[in-house]
Amino acid sequence: MTIKTLDDLLAEGVSGRRVLVRADLNVPLDKQTGAITDDGRIRAVLPTLTALTGAGARVVVFSHLGRPKGEPNPQYSLRPVAARLGELLGAEVRFAEDTVGDSARSAVDALADGEVAVLENLRFNKGETSKDDAERGAFADQLAALGEAYVDDAFGAVHRKHASVYDVPARLPHFAGRLVLREVEVLSRLTGEPERPYVVVLGGSKVSDKLGVIEALLPKVDRLLIGGGMCFTFLKAQGLEVGTSLLEEEMVQTCRNLLERSEGKIMLPVDVVAADAFSPDAAHDVVRVDGIPSHRLGLDIGPETVAGFAAALTEAAGARTIFWNGPMGVFEMAPYADGTRGVAQAIAESKAFTVVGGGDSAAAVRALGLDEKSFDHISTGGGASLEYLEGNPLPGIAALED
């Protein structure tokens, strides 16, 4: 199987041609103001867009944002995203108030060579996410009619069998964008023969969300460091009491089995920041994991754990490849951000090949003011990157194969 790339499309010539670009513009918005709080995903698609506009293509960008359940919802409009994209491109970006209706057709028809239009949220149409092939296909027909070629640069969506990801490329000449190619190249390096020692850091709230990737990676890694809310189910599996911390009771035996099979590869916290309530203003302090008070919940890993994790990630420990997915605590609240910051800094300072697995991890890097260039790669797809590492087929990648 081969995949044609953006460079193949550019070699064909795109001047005056309408090129559909599936981007991942699913950025976080402030609930109060609607302002974009992290434009990383918008910036990630710029290399593909500037290559196309510079070659004279008439670029039609489409994306989803949030989960509007198949009908228009102003809360999830891509209008502010289109405005920010225009600022970053330094050029006017047309905005269509629908996906395949009159506004979309007018915006596309009005494009001149080298100009960009953004369509409204794809998920305002039920056909985008429908499990019915005919309904999804009908929507894909309407989308495909807007362009003459298709470029997928939305790695964060390639694990979804959605109309814009899976069905549209079947209807048009299709190509992989710069971002998608880079993501696949990096993740292939992790699933192939990574340089050892290979250390993986996993966080986030639920073991159940990460079980597949833990199962897939455990035989391949040299160390697996586990923090975040998911660590408490592992601690419970060791027979420890975790107070009112986040706990998946139904996963305790699974975690016990993983610990038994891990041959000592799994490294868990030895101390945590425990608080009276899920609040930045709650009383809190650092406690050992075997002494979590019954009325408290753990909201971050403690300083001794940070030091231990950092030691496992350093050059002295010999780490040559590092993959990180999931925060170590509730980093959005200042009192519980030190664990994520400390581990992220240790990864940034490592001489290893370092990959941040998208999602909340990528958001944390930016929110905590860390230098993105300190990491070799920051993925734009949290779920997609985990699916790839699990070895699961990705519909969006399969759709690009010839």
Distances from the Cα of 276 to the Cα of 134, 244, 279, 285, angstroms: 52, 9, 8, 9
- Identify which of 94, 60, 58, 100 has the alpha carbon closest to the alpha carbon of residue 79: 94
Q: Is 25 helix (H, G, I), strand (E, B) or coil?
A: coil
Give the residue numbers annotated as catalytic, written as ranges: 41, 206, 359, 383
Enumerate residues 6+ apart whose C-beta is below 8 A from 328: 203, 227, 228, 300, 301, 306, 339, 340, 342, 343
**CA gap 301, 312 in Å, rounded:** 15
Distance of alpha carbon 211 from alpha carbon 248, whole angstroms? 12
Q: What interhelical angle do 207-217 and 382-390 show, nearest 10? A: 40
- Cα(23)–Cα(38) distance, integer angstroms: 16
Number of Cβ atoms within 10 Å of the Cβ of 109: 11
Rg of the chain, C-alpha, whole Å: 22
Q: What angle do CA 337, 338, 343 make, to 5 degrees?
A: 110
> C-alpha distances in angstroms, 364 versus 73, 97, 290, 368?
28, 32, 28, 6
Q: Are strands 271-275 and 284-288 parallel, antiparallel or unpaired?
A: antiparallel
Q: Phi and psi dihedrals of 286, rounded to 5?
A: -90, 130
3-state SS string over 271-300?
EEEEECCCCCCCCEEEEEHHHCCCCCEEEE
Q: Quick check: 227 and 267 in contact, CB under 8 A?
A: no
Characterize the bridge pairing of strands 297-301 and 271-275: antiparallel
How far apart, in whole angstroms, are the C-alpha atoms of residue 38 and residue 81? Answer: 11
Phi, psi of 3, deg, nearest 5: -125, 125
